[in-house]
């Protein structure tokens, strides 16, 4: 809702506004800790997920330009994944802020890579299988699938 409101107000249409918003919200998610007493409606989750919502909006708005940078996104993802793996296996030790920055950066780079290469994933059986990939706890929200419709 926040991204839609910002778009309706024209805040995200200025040149450089979206990348700046992604960086600012990613930094906010790392540096601002919402106290438990104020964390109603998962306000901390809002801050953690906002960079990824903005990234999705960016790719929806700049679909054709994003494809030009797909190899850069893949290279960044693989490099960040190597750093994260080295941290997980204990080969390097990162302070908590750098670790958080690495996690968010890896998430943003990985999603950018998947969105950049999405035309390679356009396979009908995956779309059919995706219908069944929701959680059993939310299955009451969806009608029973009809396989032979």
- Range name among 34-43, 62-71, 112-121, 127-136 with the lowest pLDDT average: 127-136
Query: Domain for residue 148, yes or no?
Result: no
For 19-27, the CB contacts below 8 A with 24+ separation are 19/58, 21/54, 22/51, 22/54, 22/55, 22/58, 22/108, 25/50, 25/51, 25/54, 26/51, 26/104, 26/105, 26/108
The predicted model gives 109-136 an average pLDDT of 70
Query: Domain for residue 15, yes or no?
Result: yes
Range of the domain at 102: 69-133
Global pTM reads 0.66
Query: Domain for residue 147, yes or no?
Result: no
Query: Domain for residue 145, yes or no?
Result: no
Q: 61, 80, 95: which is the final residue of a domain?
A: 61
pLDDT given at position 82: 96
* pLDDT, averaged across the chain: 77
- Structural domain total, the chain: 2
pLDDT category of residue 124 using cuts at 50, 70 and 90:
low
């Amino acid at each position: 809702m926040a991204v839609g409101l910002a778009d309706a107000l024209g805040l995200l249409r200025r040149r450089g506004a979206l990348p700046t918003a992604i960086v600012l919200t990613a930094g906010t998610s790392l540096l601002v800790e919402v106290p438990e007493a104020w964390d109603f409606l998962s306000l901390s989750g809002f801050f953690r997920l906002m960079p990824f919502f903005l990234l999705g909006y960016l790719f929806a708005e700049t679909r054709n330009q994003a494809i030009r940078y797909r190899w850069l996104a893949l290279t960044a993802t693989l490099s960040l994944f190597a750093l994260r793996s080295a941290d997980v296996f204990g080969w390097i030790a990162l302070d908590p802020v750098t670790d958080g920055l690495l996690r968010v950066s890896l998430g943003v780079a990985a999603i950018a890579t998947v969105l950049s290469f999405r035309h390679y994933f356009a396979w009908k059986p995956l779309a059919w299988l995706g219908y069944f990939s929701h959680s059993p706890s939310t299955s009451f929200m969806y009608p029973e699938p009809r396989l032979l419709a």
